[in-house]
Amino acid sequence: MRLTREVVIEAARDIVNESGLDALTTRQLGERLGVKGPAIYRYFKSKQEIIDAIAVSFFGRLKEPEPGCKWEDWLERVARTARQEILSLKDGAKIIEQAKPVFRISLESYLRPLCEAGFSRKEALFASHLIGRFVMGWTKAEQEHGGRTPPYEEGLDSEEAFEYCLKSLIAGLQLRLVAARMQAKPGQHQLGISYAVPQPESARQTLLATESANGSGGDPERKASTKDPATADSE
């Protein structure tokens, strides 16, 4: 068998699946591949580089988003693909914890659907961290609990639980984006997400304008309830 990076990675995955990450050594790899250590060093200088390469292999099926891809669909796809790949290997979550991978997919492509939807670049990074760390934590718990979701006596379905939590995170991001669009000034190109809290006076003026538009301004009791306390005594 001709030795290549892919062959070494596949052999490393086999060792991890059989005996766990702690059993992975260059010596074990050499014995499995029928070569001596220096042959492996032509492709990987250390065990850490092998771990990094295995982590990258978890995301091998992740393709760059197509133009116009909905950001919600993109984040869900990233989360589901990563979870499936990590769980496909024993100690997969542990590998992700220890890895320092360099992914083939560019950061700009990864963030594009979110930025096109109106998230600022910083917010898109925050969102990607939110989903990524959720998947890392979730898969680690799944592997530690044998794929089950505690409390075991409740009989919770792991797939259903994952989807519920993932959808809830996406829904939260959707609400933040809607709020940003509502607060954006006319003609503002980059929406971003505003963290400002409306001031009381501004909120009162908005309420009065809404009531006027709805025709409630003619209701004396309603008008009295919206008078400014500072001027009520002088009338």
What's the pLDDT at 224?
A: 46
Q: Which of 9-18, 116-125, 225-234 has the lowest mean pLDDT?
A: 225-234
Average confidence score pLDDT of the chain: 81
> Cα separation of 21 and 34, whole Å?
20
pLDDT in tens, 191-204: 444 434 344 444 44
106 and 140 co-located in one domain: yes
pLDDT in tens, 170-186: 999 999 999 888 887 65
Q: Which of 78-82, 117-121, 164-168, 191-195 has the lowest mean pLDDT?
A: 191-195
79 and 172 co-located in one domain: yes
81 and 42 co-located in one domain: no
172 and 95 co-located in one domain: yes
Would you say residue 21 lies in a domain? yes
Would you say residue 200 lies in a domain? no
Would you say residue 210 lies in a domain? no
172 and 83 co-located in one domain: yes
User: Over 50: is that where the pLDDT of 234 sits?
Assistant: no
83 and 125 co-located in one domain: yes
User: Over 90: is that where the pLDDT of 168 sits?
Assistant: yes
Would you say residue 87 lies in a domain? yes
What's the pLDDT at 190?
A: 46
76 and 179 co-located in one domain: yes
Would you say residue 173 lies in a domain? yes
Percent of the chain exceeding pLDDT 90 equals: 57
Read off the amino acid at residue 22.
D
169 and 76 co-located in one domain: yes
Would you say residue 190 lies in a domain? no
CATH code for the domain in which residue 32 is found? 1.10.10.60
136 and 77 co-located in one domain: yes
102 and 176 co-located in one domain: yes
177 and 93 co-located in one domain: yes
pLDDT in tens, 43-85: 999 999 999 999 988 877 778 898 889 999 999 999 999 999 9
| Domain endpoint, select from 158, 183, 208 | 183
Range of the domain at 28: 5-57
Would you say residue 92 lies in a domain? yes
What's the pLDDT at 103?
A: 64
CATH code for the domain in which residue 145 is found? 1.10.357.10
User: Could you give the number of structural domains in the chain?
Assistant: 2
DSSP the chain: ----HHHHHHHHHHHHHHH-GGG--HHHHHHHHT--HHHHHTT-SSHHHHHHHHHHHTTTT-PPPPTT--HHHHHHHHHHHHHHHHHTSTTHHHHHHH-----SS-HHHHHHHHHHHT--HHHHHHHHHHHHHHHHHHHHHHHHTTT--SSGGG---HHHHHHHHHHHHHHHHHHHHHHHHHHSPTT-S------PPPPHHHHHHHHHHHHHHHTGGG-HHHHHHTS-HHHHTT-
Would you say residue 66 lies in a domain? no
What's the pLDDT at 161?
A: 96
pTM of the model: 0.71
CB atoms within 10 A of CB 192: 18
Question: Which band of pLDDT confidence, cut at 50, 70 and 90, is reported for residue 107?
Answer: confident
22 and 79 co-located in one domain: no
